[in-house]
Structure 1
Amino acid sequence: MAAHLDAPPPTAPAPPEHRPRTPRGRTLLRLACGLLVLAALGYAGLRLHHRLNTIDLPQTDTVPQGGYTLTVYFTPSEAYHHGPRRSIRGQVCAGQSLPYSFPADYLERVRLEGFGKTARGDYLGWDFDRHCYFATRTPPMGSHDNALVPWQSVAANHLSTGTQIRVTDCGPGVPGEVCTRVKSAHWRVDDLCSIGCDDVKHLDLYIGEQSRADIEDEDFYFVTKGATIQTSTPQAQRW
């Protein structure tokens, strides 16, 4: 049927490229743009974080520092102590079952060094906080419940745990062969010095279990002042 003469002519639909965007369309577009911006910022942030953690980290090695006192400590063995025996009844930590007497000079060493190997093959420990003896089958431990490692563990009260130490000059009084071994060792702080370490520049080097009677007469049992060391703090974590 023909259209009415008074009716307005039909309006042609607008071309697709000129159709106005609906609110829903504008929201989706903004969301897409926002996601692209966030992705770009995240990528830039990851690159910056990677750069800061792999390239721009400050050096951790310090310059050599002089004026250090170096001493050594060890784990005494009851097998090399034959003096008069002394009772420790009344000095045993609660809940412990121990023989009540040991050689007196051995006990003095245990109280100084922290641990001693017994004739039975286990270890006698001294609790510096509770002032009592205890037995353990675990080898000598550092102050952070870590095993002490001969010619590696260091007791220090002024350096953070994990600090690596290289001795560059032993100072006076250390035989050449012993000094060579001290300087070539990879020392690491993993213990606290409980006795005689009031000086902040004092390092106590652990040399292991006693293996001979007169260990204090050996060249590697030394005290030296004026040593020079270089420290390296633990590396920052890299991602």
Structure 2
Amino acid sequence: MLLQVRFCSVVLALSLLAGCGDPVTRAPSTALPRPSFGPWSVPGPSVSASPAAPAPASASARASSPAPAAAVSSGWELTVYYTAVQSFHDGEPETVTGCRGLDCAHGDEDLGDYPADFVVAVKDEGTGRTAAGTYLNWSYDIGYWLDTAARDTAGAPLRPFVSAAADAGVLPRGTTFRVAGCGHTDDGAAAPEQVCTALRRARWTVTDEFTPGLGGSKHLDLYIGEETGPGFTDSAWYLTLTGASVRTRTA
């Protein structure tokens, strides 16, 4: 019996040295999901729970090369736009006509009755969420239409603290930028700290365009999501900033 135990031990040791035996089952690596943010939260970087794989030689060489230069320019005007919410509005009912989708322009279908000031807000801001959960959107080249999301000019959903609008000749679609300095409000005061911090921490991408005549040579419109309550346009979040500075990346 003792000889048999010793024999089994030797066989086991040889098997381990030879790399034989059942493979070790490893738990799959997982990535922590990107946190979801409310309309006034500031986006942050995603976090990975698994260790980073070693970069190939070519990637290492690229990583050691100088990063693209960050160009900062001043004298910008920053405004914000938002999605109106029907439940925060009242006023006499107004019938809206238009399209029941993006496959037409300047339609004449009955899209429903909505509070008059909600309809005004939709035309001013470009989009509004109805009590039914659909989105009443407006664009100068389409008119009103019902949709499943708030849309930019290319038809993609608007993303709070990501989507921004600019005239095509100022910053082309796809340009990414950050707010380097908030400048000041119309009355010369500093921007509210909470608002300025949120605008500066965000990484913006130009995905939208101004209605013709509303943009300008150094004017950016920043999408901040849904309004948070009645009288939103009197809150600190609805503001115009002048003398702001913007940082873009150059190749």
**Is TM more than 0.5 here?**
yes
- How far 1:83 sits from its partner (Å)? 1.0
- 2:153 aligned to which of 132, 138, 143: 143
Partner amino acid for 1:154? A
Partner amino acid for 2:128? G
2:111 paired with 1:98: yes
Change (3 A) 1:105 1:114: same
In structure 2, the partner of 1:64 is 72
Taking structure 1 as the reference length, the TM-score comes to 0.67
2:144 paired with 1:133: yes
CA RMSD of aligned residues (A): 2.6
Gaps of 5+ in 2: 1-57, 100-105, 186-190
Change (3 A) 1:196 1:218: farther
- 1:192 aligned to which of 188, 204, 209: 209
Partner amino acid for 1:159? L
Partners in 1 of 2:123 and 2:62 — Cα distance?
46
In structure 1, the partner of 2:50 is none
- How far 1:80 sits from its partner (Å)? 0.7
Partners in 1 of 2:69 and 2:223 — Cα distance?
23
- How far 1:202 sits from its partner (Å)? 0.3
Spell out the pairing of 1:202-221 with structure 2 (5 A cutoff): 202-221=219-238
SS at match of 1:199: coil
Taking structure 2 as the reference length, the TM-score comes to 0.64
SS at match of 2:131: coil
Change (3 A) 1:61 1:163: farther
SS at match of 2:220: strand
- 1:176 aligned to which of 193, 199, 222: 193
Partners in 2 of 1:203 and 1:83 — Cα distance?
31
Partners in 2 of 1:78 and 1:195 — Cα distance?
26
In structure 2, the partner of 1:113 is 125
Change (3 A) 1:184 1:127: closer
Structure showing the higher helix proportion among its residues: 1
* Runs ≥4 residues deviating over 6 A: none
Q: Residue by residue, what CA displacement relative to the aligned partner does 1:170-201 show, whole Å, maximum 9, x if unpaired? A: 00131122111111111111111216633210
Asked if the contact 1:97/1:135 (under 8 Å) is kept, the reply is no
Partners in 1 of 2:178 and 2:139 — Cα distance?
30
Kindly name which structure, 1 or 2, has the bigger radius of gyration based on alpha carbons.
Answer: 1
Change (3 A) 1:226 1:196: farther
Asked if the contact 1:112/1:195 (under 8 Å) is kept, the reply is no
- How far 1:63 sits from its partner (Å)? 2.2
